[in-house]
């Protein structure tokens, strides 16, 4: 593949994540247009990941995702740097209903992934759980996740655990946590799982991510604590996240959302007077947002916060 073509594909794979959920069909067609057996080995896994998430998860068409994935690995042998493409292809085959092909592809992935077969197999299970979450099948993902996270605690105790495995666990935990958090109604078991997923997201992002990953995981844990009826914990976690941001750099949307989480905690503690102050702080942070799209996201969250807990807070402009 010519260098400029490879650069163009890399840009598509990076940019595609910014609109994959809003313009899934557009991205699916773009990926199908550039699918080529000559894709560089280091781009295979990112390609298949985005293909699965967009076409299989958001569009719900796993046979289409599987067909596209197979086009880019045609004639190739999995290598250490590309093995995860076969792992994700196995997931596509499983969710497309082809169990035999899924097993064959998983064996190819395991054969090339690493000498640590337990870690590689565990990562494959998190790939599957994450795909189920993306497909709005949180109930099925939950069954798999509980077993996998128990093994993860044992397998990742070693300091030499691969960063990729840790990221898979962190990302899957994050996605499952948010999926459960955004459910309109949860039972007690789902509440427990939501908090477990949020806690594991924070734990594993702290091992493999950066400060932004950490503060966003803290936001998830704060929100999960609030909806689980633990406002004191929610307030402490939101404060911790704001301290991480203050020590590292500007994140106006995240800071604004965290202030809204603080307001929710304080209102739940019965302190409506103190709860209004974080809303003012949230508005101040949101005033620095660079785009109308981000402002709209904030305004929607602010409206929900106020409707739920702080009905007398002043209105935000913008």
Give the integer Cα–Cα distance in Å for 32 and 9.
12
Q: What is the pLDDT of residues 10-27, one digit of tens each?
A: 999 999 999 998 999 999
Q: Is the pLDDT of residue 33 over 70?
A: yes
Q: What is the pLDDT of residues 239-263, one digit of tens each?
A: 999 999 999 999 999 999 999 999 9
pLDDT recorded at residue 314: 42
Task: Supply 145's token pair.
Answer: 């996740």
In sequence order, which ranges of the chain are alpha helices (DSSP H)? 3-19, 24-34, 41-51, 62-73, 83-95, 99-113, 117-134, 138-155, 163-181, 188-208, 211-227, 231-248, 252-268, 272-286, 292-308
Residues shown for the chain = 318
pLDDT recorded at residue 206: 95
Q: How many percent of the chain have pLDDT more than 90?
A: 67
> How many CA atoms, within 13 angstroms, populate the side-chain half-sphere of residue 152?
26
- Of 86-90, 109-113, 313-317, the range with the highest mean pLDDT is 86-90
pLDDT recorded at residue 312: 42
Q: Is the pLDDT of residue 66 over 90?
A: yes
pLDDT recorded at residue 105: 95
Q: What is the pLDDT of residues 174-221, one digit of tens each?
A: 999 998 998 888 888 889 999 999 999 999 999 999 999 999 999 999
Helix-helix angle 117-134:163-181, to 10 degrees: 30
Q: What is the pLDDT of residues 120-174, one digit of tens each?
A: 889 899 999 989 988 888 888 888 999 999 888 787 775 556 788 899 899 999 9
- Taking the CB of residue 149, how many other CB atoms lie within 10 A of it? 23
> Who wins on pLDDT, 264 or 308?
264
List C-alpha distances in Å: 86 to 90, 100, 179, 241, 261.
6, 14, 26, 37, 40
Give the integer Cα–Cα distance in Å for 309 and 100.
52
Burial track 79-103 (b if 16+ CB lie within 10 A, e otherwise) = eeebbbbbbbbbbbbbbbebeebbe
pLDDT recorded at residue 88: 95
Q: Is the pLDDT of residue 313 over 50?
A: no
* Average pLDDT over every residue of 272-298: 91
- Based on the number of CB atoms within 10 Å of its own CB, is 163 exposed (0-12), middle (13-18) or buried (19 or more)? exposed
pLDDT recorded at residue 3: 44
- Give the position of tokens 């190739």: 76
Q: Interior CA angle at 12 toward 9 and 14, to 5°?
A: 110
pLDDT recorded at residue 119: 85
pLDDT recorded at residue 304: 83
pLDDT recorded at residue 315: 44
């Amino acid at each position: 593949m010519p260098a400029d073509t490879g650069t163009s594909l890399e840009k598509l794979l990076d940019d595609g994540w910014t609109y994959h959920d809003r313009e899934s069909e557009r991205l699916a067609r773009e990926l199908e247009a550039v699918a080529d057996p000559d894709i560089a080995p280091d781009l295979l896994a990112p390609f298949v990941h985005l293909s699965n998430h967009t076409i299989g998860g958001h569009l719900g068409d796993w046979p289409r995702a599987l067909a596209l994935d197979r086009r880019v690995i045609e004639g190739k042998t999995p290598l250490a740097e590309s093995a995860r493409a076969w792992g994700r292809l196995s997931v596509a085959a499983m969710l497309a209903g082809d169990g035999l092909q899924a097993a064959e592809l998983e064996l190819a992935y395991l054969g090339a992934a690493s000498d640590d077969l337990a870690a590689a197999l565990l990562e494959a299970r998190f790939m599957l759980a994450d795909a189920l979450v993306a497909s709005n099948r949180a109930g099925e993902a939950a069954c798999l996740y509980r077993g996998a996270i128990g093994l993860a605690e044992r397998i990742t105790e070693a300091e030499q655990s691969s960063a990729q495995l840790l990221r898979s666990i962190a990302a899957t935990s994050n996605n499952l946590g948010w999926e459960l958090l955004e459910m309109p109604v949860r039972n007690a078991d789902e509440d427990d799982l939501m908090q477990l997923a949020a806690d594991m997201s924070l734990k594993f992002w702290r091992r493999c991510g950066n400060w932004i990953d950490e503060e966003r995981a803290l936001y998830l844990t704060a929100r999960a604590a609030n909806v689980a009826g633990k406002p004191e914990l929610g307030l402490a976690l939101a404060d911790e996240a704001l301290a991480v941001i203050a020590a590292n750099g500007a994140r106006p949307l995240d800071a604004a959302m965290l202030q809204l989480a603080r307001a929710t905690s304080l209102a739940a503690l019965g302190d409506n007077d103190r709860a209004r102050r974080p809303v003012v702080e949230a508005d101040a942070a949101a005033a620095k947002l660079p785009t109308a799209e981000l402002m709209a996201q904030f305004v929607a969250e602010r409206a929900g916060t106020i409707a739920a807990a702080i009905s007398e807070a002043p209105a935000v402009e913008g």
